[in-house]
Structure 1
Amino acid sequence: MKKIHKKLNNIEYIVVEPAYIKPDMMYPVIFLLHGYGSNMSDLANICEHIDSNEYIYVCPNAPLEIDIGFGNKGYSWFDIDTEYKSLEDNYSNLINELIFSLDKEYCIDRKKMILGGFSQGAMVTYEFGIMQTNYFSGLLAMSGKLINKEIFNQDEKINLDKKIFISHGVYDNVISVNEGREANKILKGIGFKVEYKEYPITHEISLDVISDIKKWIEKILIQ
């Protein structure tokens, strides 16, 4: 696979593409959003373990730069120290622009796109992905939580055709496994098809998680 560093306006991102692009193939796209204090390289490193030939992956830096100590910087999708507000407006333009940019460079299949994230990236995946009716056929939430449960009490139409995969570590000491269980219960309760799995791990992505993600993605994107 090839990792290509790009920049769109003020956002840096990595595109992970197959070593050889087939000119007659429409590629599904998988967006992966990193966790709080991390960066675009984090989840870009797991792409080859999911599949190295069938998909194009997009791993952006979050827009907020933060100090993570010892002179190092990381990125955040939203400020965790301030009152939470809806993220949909914040990231609608970013995702739109990334898709438009990809469309100019690659032959992408807009009907086969997945949005996924880890930790804070999973929170954004829930918040943004659930309310979007036109973008994603699947949502992937690793070790995250629902941060705006009120959205399900609104009258806005929710596309229940999206498939959702939730993974969570039983020993997660950052975001309790109870958050994963609650998300699973709520989303299934309103009609989503959710695949929920727990693992004997902490706040991390294990090889078993990646293996299950790979199988789930294949069911959605390779038909």
Structure 2
Amino acid sequence: MAQDRTDAQGSSTTPRTAALVDSRFVPRQYEPNYAYPLLVLLHGKGADEDQLIRAMPALSRRNYVGLGLRGPATVFKHDRPVGYSWGPEFEIPERSSFRNVPILSEGDRFRRAMREPELDSMMRLEEGVFAGVREIRSLMHVHSERIFLVGCGEGAAAAYRLGLSFPERFAGVVAINGWLPSGFRPLSRFHACRDFPVLAVHGAWNARVPLHRARRDVATLRAGGLRVAFQSYPCNHRLNSDMLSDVDTWIMTHCTGQPVV
């Protein structure tokens, strides 16, 4: 694994017409005859599609294809856009340092509704992720049974929601400093999720999402019979190199036990 991080490689960002803007990470010395695991990367609130793409070299420079997706909702702070989010369904309910929409006049709201019809956040998430996966599979050699959702913060809440709703479509979920979204029944597909792997990694000093909350979410999933690995680290809500190294090891351990397509 250490050698993976010594071979330098950049990321590739390509505009497209699918539902969500994306940024892509191409493994170093990409081999088109090898079926790569795909990491679908979902950023935290106020960030964008490049947040986890920038972390890919610390994870691995050659093990994975990375697909960073941009949340569909613009985040405003002091009436200025500061990034993107996955929608109000995935927020931490008790924290509201950002507003998802600026203050608009009645006329502006009408014109925006006519120009940009609202879609349910879950529908936008599903359509955007599935469209992004289809497109990158048409361009690169991706293993059909090794598609992992990796989310950070609010993106982890979105990854939980999507992965536990469609466990047959993904190889597992990695939740970094995240939480289970409010109003979501994570065990509604109890039998389908029994063998669905989840890794939750969390900063012990995370003031935004306290460690006890992450432990409570993990306990909820384990009570339903899910295979949830959990580890905390001496850091806050930011990405940690040891955390990323353990994510790499966990994903590759699950990949090596699966048949090759």
Same fold (TM over 0.5): yes
2:15 partner SS? strand
2:71 partner SS? coil
What is the deviation of 1:72? 5.3
Whose Rg is larger? Answer: 2
* Matched positions, count: 220
Q: Is the 8 A contact 1:5 1:12 kept in 2?
A: no
Aligned match of 2:160: 126
- TM-score normalised according to structure 2 size: 0.77
What is the deviation of 1:151? 1.5
Unaligned runs of 5+ in 1: none
What is the deviation of 1:169? 1.5
From 229, 246, 255, give the equivalent of 1:212.
Answer: 246
Bigger CA drift: 164-173 or 4-13?
Answer: 4-13
What is the deviation of 1:199? 1.3
Residues 90, 157 of structure 1: alpha-carbon distance in 2 compared, 3 angstrom cutoff: farther
- TM-score normalised according to structure 1 size: 0.90
Bigger CA drift: 6-15 or 19-28?
Answer: 6-15
In 1, Cα distance between equivalents of 2:213 and 2:236: 14
The residue identity in structure 1 corresponding to 2:60 is D
What is the deviation of 1:191? 0.9
Describe how 1:1-223 pairs up with structure 2 within 5 A.
1-9=9-17, 11-68=20-77, 73-79=82-88, 80=91, 87-148=121-182, 150-152=184-186, 154=188, 157-223=191-257
Residues 78, 173 of structure 1: alpha-carbon distance in 2 compared, 3 angstrom cutoff: same
What is the deviation of 1:41? 1.5
Residues 154, 70 of structure 1: alpha-carbon distance in 2 compared, 3 angstrom cutoff: closer
Q: Deviations over 1:61-99 (max 9, x none)?
A: 1111223459553001113468xxx85433111111111
In terms of fraction of residues, the more strand-rich structure is 1
In 2, Cα distance between equivalents of 1:158 and 1:151: 14
Q: CA RMSD in A?
A: 2.2
In 1, Cα distance between equivalents of 2:164 and 2:204: 25
1:117 partner SS? strand
